[in-house]
Structure 1
């Protein structure tokens, strides 16, 4: 069956891609700071000279100028524009197939979120690896295409799928938990609010609450994923052991503040923009 630009799934893809573009451009600095915090060398002891989000941010601005905060934005765009489009179009397809027009229950919402994120996460993992390396400051790639070619030539294509398990362990539960909390809190809103001009603001607030809860629950998996993708000689189990031996349990929550801010604001904005656009083109999100 041929798909035209008028097909609902294509429309969902386009709405998702646009929402992802806006949120990525705004919140890329938070992702860079999060990655730098998680990949600090082991010589920096968490207990003594505590290195925090503001310290890293000022250091990046001082050494790499203000635009240094957007380092890695190219692979972020390459990943996010199609990635968020794939996520929302998959979510829309699954919802139409399994739930149609009825309201989602908590478990149904979680499963839809997990399924959509798994599809998008596997498909976009190679670009995610490159994005993480750009942000770490340890690699001097000139472009996304050049980075992909360099990794394939020096480390083999397998390296582009490093961190697959911790990525899915992080992203699939995050999406499932987020969609569950978001759909349930939004459904609990009074009808006067959900149908008023303030609906986007109310939906955004529901997204913020859902994002904070989902981010904190999945933070340890994000730290492990970052270490595996930056140092490809580490396996997932090795990375867990390394983080614990070097930094203790608190090491699994390094970068929690910038990640929570970024993931929460990005998800809330993406869902708000997506739903408003879907409504404008006459589709139920």
Structure 2
């Protein structure tokens, strides 16, 4: 067996990189969990600031991201005011006695008036999808790149292998998660019971076919697949250079963190137009759920509409916020993943010595 094979199971139950499949899963989950813990408060604060400037009304669509995945959320209630708060007001509409003046002000006021747990509002249900998706993604990447014969460097003709592996892993991950996200959006939008959801799905499949479960998949793939391909190309390239220059077998946590941040920034900038289209398409999904017949369903037509109404620069809006979120999320994810893989590999080596 090739000693460099990472994701092929050996006779002793370990994968080719010296860790077991369970340890591989734990490494993936650790990155997802750590990323969520650090990035979720940033998006909670962002949504609270935005809703203060333009209050959310019932049925309005907004986007939520925990650093791992983007989610379409639908405002379920009209909420209250700072003088007469609504009972059981959801986290994104909770009133604060004084207006929020900025990120730091929002952070400290939420802590003071609502408690530390409020900064991680909505995290548990998101992790239900995000952690399995991360396990699928990293495991598939490891398998694909080794099946392609990638040996840890970009010399010769190996440069394309991380790209194909990353694109393949993301395609599988997004395809598996897409129907779950659609169901979650429907649950949020109309507060339906699970029995009602099953009836809705059955009726929708009868009228529109089983493919309706993957509505909006195209724009998501247009953004996520190129991002993943560019990310892994950049990361593996930097990793190969660092290991070659330093003569080491693995990168330090700081080196992995930096390489992840730089790779995420590069991929985020180059795929920004796809991210803009995906956001607009997600909003359209919410309108479709409300049975608005005037929404644009074609990705190409939506791009042309945006260009005609706002110019080409509209496809490159939101660069700074995207990079501020993507760079640290990618850095935390990959450095945590690499750290735990190295940790388990060393523990296994010591146990066998």
- Place the TM-score, normalised by the shorter chain, in its bin: 0.7 to 0.9
Work out whether residues 160 and 233 of structure 2, in 8 Å CA contact, stay in contact via their aligned partners in 1: yes
Matched, 1:271 2:334: yes
1:51 aligned partner: none
1:126 aligned partner: 179
Work out whether residues 125 and 164 of structure 1, in 8 Å CA contact, stay in contact via their aligned partners in 2: yes
Work out whether residues 75 and 128 of structure 1, in 8 Å CA contact, stay in contact via their aligned partners in 2: no
Q: 1:107 to 1:196 in 2, by over 3 A?
A: closer
**Could you list the per-position Cα deviations for residues 136-172 of structure 1 after superposition, in whole angstroms to 9, with x for gaps in the alignment?**
xx947589x7996697378667554222111111111
2:29 aligned partner: 17
Mark the runs of 5 or more structure 1 residues left unpaired by the alignment: 40-53
Deviates more, 1:203-212 or 1:153-162: 153-162
1:184 aligned partner: 237
1:45 aligned partner: none
Measure the CA separation in 2 of the matches of 1:75 and 1:160: 20
Q: How far is 1:26 from its partner?
A: 1.9
1:88 aligned partner: 138
Q: Which has the higher contact order (CA 8 A, sep 6+)?
A: 1
1:152 aligned partner: 201
1:228 aligned partner: 281
Give the secondary-structure state (helix, strand or coil) at the position aligned to 2:242: coil
Measure the CA separation in 2 of the matches of 1:262 and 1:12: 26
Q: How far is 1:118 from its partner?
A: 1.0
Deviates more, 1:148-157 or 1:198-207: 148-157
**Could you list the per-position Cα deviations for residues 36-87 of structure 1 after superposition, in whole angstroms to 9, with x for gaps in the alignment?**
7x99xxxxxxxxxxxxxx69x96xx89xx78776555344312210111101
Matched, 1:170 2:223: yes
Mark the runs of 5 or more structure 2 residues left unpaired by the alignment: 1-8, 16-20, 48-62, 65-69, 73-101, 289-295, 347-353
**Could you list the per-position Cα deviations for residues 96-118 of structure 1 after superposition, in whole angstroms to 9, with x for gaps in the alignment?**
32226453432111111111111
Measure the CA separation in 2 of the matches of 1:215 and 1:150: 39
Task: Judging by fraction of residues, say which structure has more helix.
Answer: 1
Q: 1:71 to 1:125 in 2, by over 3 A?
A: farther
Q: How does 1:199-238 map to 2 (within 5 A)?
A: 199-232=252-285, 233=288, 234-235=296-297, 236-238=299-301
Aligned-residue RMSD, C-alpha: 4.2
Q: 1:147 to 1:172 in 2, by over 3 A?
A: farther
1:46 aligned partner: none
Work out whether residues 166 and 225 of structure 2, in 8 Å CA contact, stay in contact via their aligned partners in 1: yes
Work out whether residues 166 and 228 of structure 2, in 8 Å CA contact, stay in contact via their aligned partners in 1: yes
Q: How far is 1:261 from its partner?
A: 2.2
Measure the CA separation in 2 of the matches of 1:74 and 1:239: 33
Measure the CA separation in 1 of the matches of 2:121 and 2:195: 15
Match of 1:256 among 319, 332, 349: 319
Give the secondary-structure state (helix, strand or coil) at the position aligned to 1:281: helix
Deviates more, 1:147-156 or 1:115-124: 147-156
Q: Determine which structure has more spread, i.e. the larger CA radius of gyration.
A: 2
Measure the CA separation in 2 of the matches of 1:91 and 1:197: 18
Work out whether residues 31 and 259 of structure 1, in 8 Å CA contact, stay in contact via their aligned partners in 2: no
Deviates more, 1:119-128 or 1:87-96: 119-128
Give the secondary-structure state (helix, strand or coil) at the position aligned to 1:99: coil
